[in-house]
Each structure stands twice: as structure tokens, then as C-alpha cells.
Amino acid sequence: MNPTSTSIESLVFGASEWTWPAILLGLCLSFLAGWSYLFRNEMTGIRWLAMALKIAAVAALAFCLLEPLRRVERPRPGANVMAVLVDNSRSMEIKSNASAVSRSEFLAPKLQTETAWQSRLAQDFDVRRYAFDDRLRSVDDLAALDFQGNSSSLAAALTTLQQRFENRPVAGVLMFSDGLATDDVQSLLAQSWPFPIYPVAQAADERLRDLSVTDTSVTLSSFELAPAGIEATVKASGLAGEELVVRLLDDQGETLERQILACDSDPFERKVRFQFRPTEPGFQLVSVRAMLRSDDRDEGQLRSRREVTLANNTRLIAVDRGGGPYRILYVAGRPNWEFKFIRRALEEDIEIDLHGLVRIAKKEPKFSFRDRGVDTANPLLAGFDGDEETAEQYDEPVLLRLGVDEDELKAGFPSGEEDLFTYHAIILDDVEASFFSQQQMLLMRRFVAERGGGLMMLGGQESFLGGGYSETPLGDVLPVYLRGSENALSKDGFVRYQLTREGSLEPWLRLRDNEAQDRERVQQMPDFQTWNSVADVKPGASILAELETTSSKQPGLVAQRFGSGRSLALLVGDFWRWSMRRATEETDDLAQSWRQIARWLTSDVPQRIEVRTQSPSSPLEPHVVRIELRDPAFKPLDNAEISLSVTEPDGQQVQMGASPDPIKAGSYVAEYWSRLDGGYVCEVTATGPDGEFLGTRTQGWTAEPSAVEFARVEANNELLKQLAEKSGGELVSAEDLESFVAALPSKKVPITEARVEPLWHRPWILLFAITCLCAEWAIRRWKGLP
């Protein structure tokens, strides 16, 4: 690059018709001048010099006969756009290890409005000033930028400029950036550009000292041993030999778990894993924070004198244990010990709502004491009454409702979808098939297959084959065959309950931290005395536990998928004995087992209102909130009204709606752009087409655009260089900015203007010819030449 060049020049001739006469005249005069020297005396160096001077004078005069003209092309002032683009993101405030000023502070003097390069640029171009962080915007004064943007949308900014200037003459883009883009810049390198890009690069950084947390994920479990697992990657550069402290913090900043890592390489990268048990259901925030051990503290503002930034040391994670409360309907044919232990166990799980329907008598006779009226509190305690007209309505089972509201299950077991489908699981315990009508059994079959609920049957005298389920709709749902066995219920002898290999791999059947301890726990279980025999298990069903006698093995716990739901058969009739034989007084394995079985039955059961969020792949994209609605029969529900209330990290609430998904029935979609770092809580309210209030659901997510911004801290000059080369520009050093701007008019631009200046009557041409002739004369006189 020639820094003194200010235009594009070319030479033309105004009297081109004199070309050949001028050449002939020049050749003749040059021949005569040469002959006068070559044919008189011996040629010496002085003679050669004198001859050359005379020939040069003749050539200059012959050149003037052609009327030479200089044609100058330069950009038409103000006709071409030159965009000045400045990165306003927080990464511009990074300081190198040895520097006292940040990247933005280094550029600040150059961005002042009255700088020489900006004034020089405005003389030739239509200068447009822009800044970009999460979006592109026009600015009047580059010196007023605060460099507080949470992202560097470099690709989006350049693409927007390209679209904005699609039909305008653009000389180029002068860009001030560190190249740390948070969007997909590689797509820019794959396309052609209509104008050149001139990135202004700063001095390359040495390896900066930095510690960051990336690639976080959360694994949720419905079971007590591993309710939530957190995984993150810790990266460090320039910190070899240091000790790092990684903490898992709750939303109040309290430490849940702490790990110490030795940074034994440069660069350093290692995965860390935490496990914790959420104390409350629903949505909550936790965070993973990594610090140098010398800078780590439990309280107070984070500070570090050795890292270039702390903005990437912490990552927020959303943990959503939502979905509940889950409603389970327990139906028993008689009062028994099993319900007592199930109810006691599930009372400790605030996400489970257990409703009990226990038959205490198969028929209710009408009777009353003679000294009392018929309005006694419990008719079973009243005297008999021989009124035959009213006796028929008492010829029904006497059911005890437990854990329900006043009007729930008042008519007994539900007979309609709107009542039964509000539950997530059903447990049948020692109740015969004739207790249910054919319609109710078909309804339970649909409850599992279509609604996606869970069904569990416990062993007992009136369960499985003994309950007459072999040729019923519920027999199809169960995972075992109910045929070919006369002795369906066994009460003689003892059986051992043993997990199969497949069962020991299921997390909801594990009650200890490792396999060895869990195997020992199973060995300590008591013998059981009541169990049901079945013919076989159905194809696709899984035998999770077996019942071992002295001579044989048979299925003890069998599970299968059925339609959209699942079914489970526990063929032990006195499972409650397990709690009577505890290893310690504090350990109640039966209670924990029942809680985990209940969670398994309900974990994948759909709700009438389901809310899911989809995280964006970049800070430039919104979070997508998807809502699915179902009617009481759990069919997709359209034409509903959805309203969302989003609470941002600063406490501000934003109200918005959701629009129907044009592809999927009963689905609604809303998009939300998360601009701030922190957790967002979204409350979804649904109203049916008839104005019926359907309910609310709470969902949440986290957004950390600043963490993405600081995923890398070293300036990416290589990317800037690739952009320049791909677009036909060049990488400009910040120190050479003024000389580069001065040379910009010499580069190719869309609109130029031409000016023609004559050279033949310029004084310097005549002066050149006279000087050559005078010098030739002086040489001849000096040497005494003729």
C-alpha cells in the first residue's frame, strides 16, 4: 500500500494522430545526435553521457508533440458510503495480563469525533457510524459508547449492513472489533461480499489468565437416591499450578457442595459433577461457580487480581421439579395393612396426592336402634329396620373415602372420563373384577392406553386370577397372563423377594448408593407368606423381581408399556411385612420403595396443561415456550386463550400471549427474547373456549448472554483476517489507521469522477529538455569536444 497515493491516475494523449510523425522525428534527431558523436572520435564515457543527454532532450521535445494528458480518477466526494462499525460488547473491556488499559480504552482516543482520520474520511466518503452488540444501531458519536453489551452479534451486524446498503454504492466497512463473535460468523466466510471489510486489529494477546464454566447440564430423577445431577466443564488458561474451587450454590448463594481441583495443565479442562436434592417442588435456580482458591470466598463481591474477567466464572442452571401434584387413586376390596403403609409413605412426598377408596362392607343393610332415628351418624351401628321399600338402595358396597374433598368419589369409583382422567395412576389392592362395571373397566383400559396413566395391581385373595380378571379389559392391561393356574393364591410356606438383573438396573427400585449395598439390602428383606401365581408374563413385559421358593422361581414384580401408559403387577400380598423387619429404626426401606414406585407410575403421565421451553442456540434467538392443552378426555384442545406472565431477573413483569401452532392440534407457541443475565419465571394461564378456567402452570429458564460473550477472551485476529481476505479488504493495524484512511481514495470504489490535466506545456518538461541540452553543452566545453 502506498500511503501517499490519493487517486487512480492514467496517461492519455491529446494529439494521438501525431504519434508516428513524432516517433519519426525523434528517431531522426536522435540519429543525427548519435552520429555526431559516434563517427567523429573514439567513444569514451563522457562522450556517451553527452550523447544520452542530447537524445533525452530530443525525446522530451518529441513527446510534447503528442500533447500528453494526465487522467486522474478519484472517489466523488460524498457519493460512496463508508460504514464505521464498532463492537460495543463487554469483551472490549478485557485487559491483557500486562496492560493497564482495556481494548475499549485503547480505542477511545481514536474514536473521538475530531480525530484526523475521521475528518479525512469525511472528505471523500459518506460516513455512517454504527455500533453493535446484540443488535446493530446507528450512532452519532462513537466516543459515547459504553461497551456494556452482553453479546457480539458480528455476523448479524454485517448481514444487516449488507441488506441495508443493498442498492447503495458502498466503498467498504471499517470495523473495530476483537473478533469474539457470539453468533455464527462461519456462515459469512462461505458467501461473497459486495463490499470490502477493513477490520482494525489490536496487538495480539498473549495467553490470558482466565477461568470459566461452560457446558452445564442438569439430569432430573423422580427418585430419592439421585433426584438431581449437575454437570459442568471447568476451563482455565494461564493458570497452571493453581488450585481451583468449584461450588454448587443455591438461589440464596448458599454452598450446597464444594470441590477442589488442581490445575495441572495449560490449557486446563475438566468435567465436574454434583448431586443435590431440591427442597421444594417446581422451578428453582442453582449455579456453578469456579474461582481460584486464593480468590474464593463464601460471601461478598467476587474479585480477582489475576483473571482478566469474572463474567464467565459462574453459570446459572434451571432445575424444574414441576409436574405435580400427582394424583393417585387407591382402591381396596377390604381394609388391610398395605394401605396404612402406603399412605404413611406417600404423606412424606409433597408431590403425591393419594386418594383412598376402601370397601368396608360388600352390602349395607338398613337397620336402626329402636330408641334412635334413622339419621344416625353411622348406619352400620344402628338397629335393623324391616322397611322392604328402602332396602334395595342399601344393597350396595360400603365405601370409605380417604384423603378426598367432600364431593370427590361420593358415588364410588368414577364412571366418567372427567372424573377418572384427573388421576395420574390407579392402585388396585385385593379387589375383585366384579366390583367394577364393564364400563368402568373399559374406562380404566382407556385411562392407561389413551390418557397415558399408570395402573398397578397388588397381590391378594381377590387379585389377578383369584379376582376374576382373566377375561376382562383389565386383564389385557396387566403384564401377566391370568390362565392355567388353579392355586392362584398361596399362603403356605415362604418366598424370598429377589431383584433380577434388569430390576437392579432400574433407578426406582434401587434404595442404596451402590450395587453391593443394594444387594445386601435385598438379602435382609423378610420372607413373605402371601403371593399370587401367574401362568406367564406377556411379550414385551419386564420381570423386575422374582419370588423364590425352595424349589422354584416365579415372577414377583412385572412391568410393561400399554399404549401411552404403563402397568405394574406386584404379586406379593403382604408387602407390608417389610416395614416390620427394618434394619434400623431410622431406615424405612418400604416407605422409600413405595414413594419411588409411585413416582415411576406417574412420572411420564401427561397433564391437561403442559409447558416446555426450548433454549436458543445463540443469544440472538428467543426462548420458545410451547404449551399443550387437553380437554377432560385428554384430547387436544383448540381455540383456548393462553396468557403468559414472565418475571425477569430484575423483577419486571412482562405480559404476553401465545398463538396456536399451525401444525399440531392443541399446541400453542410463544417466543421470548431474554436480554438480561439471570433466571426467568413464566406463569402460564389457560382459559378454555367456553371461558372455563383450566389452570396455571409455572415454568422457567435461564439466560446468560454475558457468559457466551466471554466464552473466549483472547482477541480473534485470525477471524478478522479471514473476513478481510474473503471480502477483498485487508487487516489494518490500529497504529496505521491514519495512513490507511489517507490511501482509501486510491482503492476501487463504486462511484468516481475523472479530471484531465495537460502535461505538454508544464514547465518541468521544458525545463527538463533545456537542462539536458545545457548539460550536454557544458560537457563539451569542459572536455573540449567539438
**H or E element: which one contains 147?**
none
pLDDT of residue 754: 67
pLDDT of residue 372: 46
Residues 640-670: tens digit of each pLDDT: 999 999 999 999 999 999 999 999 999 999 9
DSSP state of 362: S
**H or E element: which one contains 767?**
helix 763-783
Ramachandran angles phi, psi of 184, nearest 5°: -85, 90
Among 178, 172, 104, smallest CA distance to 144 is for 104
pLDDT of residue 500: 94
**H or E element: which one contains 426?**
strand 425-429
pLDDT of residue 636: 93
Among 213, 251, 250, 249, smallest CA distance to 234 is for 213
C-alpha cell read off for 67: 500533447
Ramachandran angles phi, psi of 326, nearest 5°: -95, 130
For residue 751, which amino acid is it?
A: I
> What Rg value do the Cα atoms of the chain yield, rounded?
44
**Could you say which residues of the chain have pLDDT below 50?**
1-6, 300, 367-392
pLDDT of residue 551: 80
Residues 323-333: tens digit of each pLDDT: 678 999 999 99
pLDDT of residue 331: 96
DSSP string, 28-71: HHHHHHHHHHHTTS---HHHHHHHHHHHHHHHHHHHHTT-EEEE
Distance between CA atoms of residues 288 and 213, nearest Å: 7
Distance between CA atoms of residues 20 and 220, nearest Å: 93
Distance between CA atoms of residues 626 and 664, nearest Å: 11
In 10 A of CB 387, how many CB atoms? 12
Distance between CA atoms of residues 65 and 24, nearest Å: 12
Residue count of the chain, please give it: 786
Q: Is the peptide bond before 325 cis (omega within 30 degrees of 0)?
A: yes
How is the chain split among helix, strand and coil, in percent rounded to 5?
25, 30, 40
Cβ neighbourhood burial of 146 (10 Å; 0-12, 13-18, 19+): exposed
C-alpha cell read off for 183: 453468533
Predicted model pTM: 0.73
Sign of CA dihedral 250, 256, 260, 261: negative
Distance between CA atoms of residues 708 and 675, nearest Å: 12
Distance between CA atoms of residues 735 and 628, nearest Å: 59
pLDDT of residue 4: 34
pLDDT of residue 556: 94
Residue spans of beta strands (DSSP E) within 563-674: 565-570, 609-614, 623-629, 641-647, 653-657, 659-660, 667-672
Query: Is 48:38 a contact under the CB 8 Å cutoff?
Result: no
Residue spans of beta strands (DSSP E) within 704-751: 732-733
- 8, β-bridge pairs: 73
Distance between CA atoms of residues 372 and 386, nearest Å: 15
With b for 16 or more beta-carbon neighbours within 10 A and e for fewer, the 548-583 pattern comes to beeeeebbbbbbbebbebbbbbbbbbbbbbbbeeee
Sign of CA dihedral 258, 260, 261, 263: positive
Among 545, 542, 508, 511, smallest CA distance to 528 is for 545
Distance between CA atoms of residues 143 and 561, nearest Å: 66
Measured CA distances, 378 to 45, 359, 374, 583 (Å): 143, 15, 10, 41
C-alpha cell read off for 230: 449437575
Among 226, 187, 90, 213, smallest CA distance to 146 is for 90
For residue 522, which amino acid is it?
A: V
